[in-house]
Every structure is written in C-alpha cells, then in structure tokens.
Amino acid sequence: MVQRARADKDAFFGSDAHSPVPAAARGPDFSLAYFAPEPAWRIAAQWHPAATLMGVRVQTSTGEARDYVLAGHFAFNIDDTPCRLVGYATSADALSLFVPFKDATAGHETYGTGRYLDVEMPPADGGPVVLDFNAAYNPFCAYSEQWSCPLTPPENVLSVAIRAGEKVPAW
C-alpha cells in the first residue's frame, strides 16, 4: 500500500500543474526521495484523547497562524525512548488527525522544519492505535517557499531518529 501511494504521489508531483514542485524539476521520471518501507516503523501507540477539546493556533512557514483543535496525544516508545506526539484536528467533528513532527533526522536526512502524518481519528475513549511512519511526508513548503505550511510545535519535537517516510528533497 505504501509503495502504491508513493507511486501515485510521484506521478502527481512530477506532472500535475498543481504540483508544489518547481516546473524545472518535474518530468516523466520524477520521484521523491524516500526511506525504504519497513514494517518496524508501524509503531504501536496509546491514544490519550484530550479531556476537553481546546482550540490552538499553529504558526506557519510564512508567519501567519492556523487554527486547530488539540484532540489528544499519542504515547509510544522508539528504542526504549518514551515519545509523545500531539494530534490536531481541523474541527471538533474531523475524521482524521494532523500530526506534525520533527525528529533527529531533520535538517540533514529529512526536511528541516519537520514532516507530517495523517492519522484516522482514534477511538473517543482512547486505546491502542498504529502510527505508520512509512507514510510520513514533507509539507509543500519543502518544495517551494510560496506555500504556507504549519510548523512543528515544540511539543512534537522528538529526540529519536525516525528513518521512515519522505526524505529531504533532492534538488
């Protein structure tokens, strides 16, 4: 499934007029740089929904802020290191969560301001979920400064390296 999603994204980014990739970098053989998919990067996490949904403002790469709902957080371990990532929703009735994160690969192997995960809305009462870091992707501003992208909030900066998903653009 990850390979098919990557092929579809490469086709879109390489040829579509709405691609965030500069026209000079596009072409029929266009491909983003990815870490090889690894089942080990499908991480079991515990979902902890927020007791009360709270509106938050997240800064963007162009200086304005975007409004989200802090829906809760995911707790998990990577190599015996406890990790925590906050999940944000676009509304109280959203069907998925936006999880921006920055890890120890940022700035050299991956995009410097972080990457994103989209996660299906977990159960309202909490419980186990799987975070598939193989699906981690760069924000559009990684490809062109004309895009305004949410920046990774400090609470979603991890000390561990997550060598999964998209790498830093190669051009």
Classify 135 as helix, strand or coil.
helix
Q: Does some domain include residue 27?
A: no
Task: For residue 97, tell me if it sits in a domain.
Answer: yes
Residue 96 domain-assigned (yes or no): yes
pLDDT, the chain, mean: 95
pLDDT tens column, 55-65: 999 999 999 99
Is 3 part of a structural domain of the chain?
no
Report how far residue 72's alpha carbon sits from residue 132's, in angstroms, rounded to the nearest whole number: 18
Mean pLDDT is lowest, of 36-40, 72-76, 142-146, 164-168, for 142-146
The count of other CB atoms within 10 Å of the CB of residue 163 is: 16
Is 90 exceeded by the pLDDT of residue 170?
A: no
Which pTM was predicted? 0.93
100-140 pLDDT, tens digit per residue, is 999 999 999 999 999 999 999 999 999 999 999 999 999 99
Any domain includes 161: no
C-beta of residue 111 within 8 angstroms of C-beta of residue 139:
yes
pLDDT, position 171: 66
Query: Is residue 165, in this structure, part of any structural domain at all?
Result: no
Q: What is the mean pLDDT of residues 81-96?
A: 95
Let me know if residue 141 belongs to a domain: yes
- pLDDT-derived band at 92 (thresholds 50, 70, 90) equals confident
7 within domain boundaries:
no
Q: Structural domain tally of the chain?
A: 1
Phi and psi torsions of 135, nearest 5° = -95, 10
> CB–CB of 160/103 below 8 Å?
yes
Domain hosting 65: range is 40-156
CA triplet 72, 37, 1: central angle to 5 degrees?
80
